Amino acid sequence: MIFDRNNNRDVAVLLGAGSMGTTILRRVCAGMTILFGDISEKRLDEVKKEYESYGYAVETQLVDAASRDSIEAFAQKAASLGSVKYYIHTAGASPNQAPPEKIIALDLVGSAYALDAFGKVMAAGGAGLLISSQTGYMFPPLSQEEEMQIMTTPPDKLAELPCLSNERITNSGTAYIVAKKANHLQVQYAATHEWGKRGARINTISPGIIITPLAYDEFSANGEGYQRMIDATPMRRVGSPDEIGAAGAFLLSDAASYITGTDLLVDGGTIAAMKNGQFQLGLSVLRKSLNILKQNRKLPIVGSFRS
């Protein structure tokens, strides 16, 4: 049976087929062709079967989200399917899933590759969304000069920056914070360059503690610390993928047509609690890294971490 006789469907793209991305996608993709990209063939088979059962036209492609060639091929696949209206990027690894160099390669450099590649194929009036994290707000990891370097350095050269070296990024926690701060900067740059020139918008969302399979990996590694964070959050609970879905759908929609190059913090007030002294991040490894960053940079850093 043919569920959709339309031949000129717009295209909605998701790279990283996790629960937050699929929840956002479900709210915006009616009547479109969906293109899923992921490094897991099993996961692609799962979402293809699921979304085809809902009546959607679905395409999939294996993608290494840390590889420029793989991401560029994915963008070209998207463009071949029709007018690319939405791009959602959720690919990444958490601190307890990968070493520092992998997090920098995937969460930071890979995101830059994707912004570049899809900035060349987005349709006028289209919109993109990169899922970042509240950790990008947790301490100022970069100087203004280093922020400008991250925004303006070509993706292939990013890993060569001194501020992203192994000497500066000594553990996965620090790598994750720096990568998520970099995501905000990369989107600001993309919004005013390639994406803006094409008449497309691009923003980030920074979720707090959202219940996903990735979150359970973090709970297993540092359950006590996460419990303290949940208890100190003004909302006094975790968030759900549906709440990220609602925020993401808004930023992609025409209701947000004057919003681009910005970040929406969806964290239940966790960062507000930290700034007001209601919660102190009890991760000694990050405190050590903060001191290393300060020594190497020889610049003042506001904030501290206490065990």
Residues involved in catalysis: 176, 180
Given the structure tokens 């020139």, which residue do they identify?
197
* Cα Dmax for the chain: 66
**β-bridge mates for residue 237, sequence order:** none
The token duo for 256 is 């947000």
Q: Which of 133, 150, 130, 42 is nearest to 89 (CA)?
A: 130
d(CA 76, CA 144): 35
d(CA 145, CA 67): 27
3-state secondary structure of 126: strand
Q: What is the DSSP letter of 107?
A: I
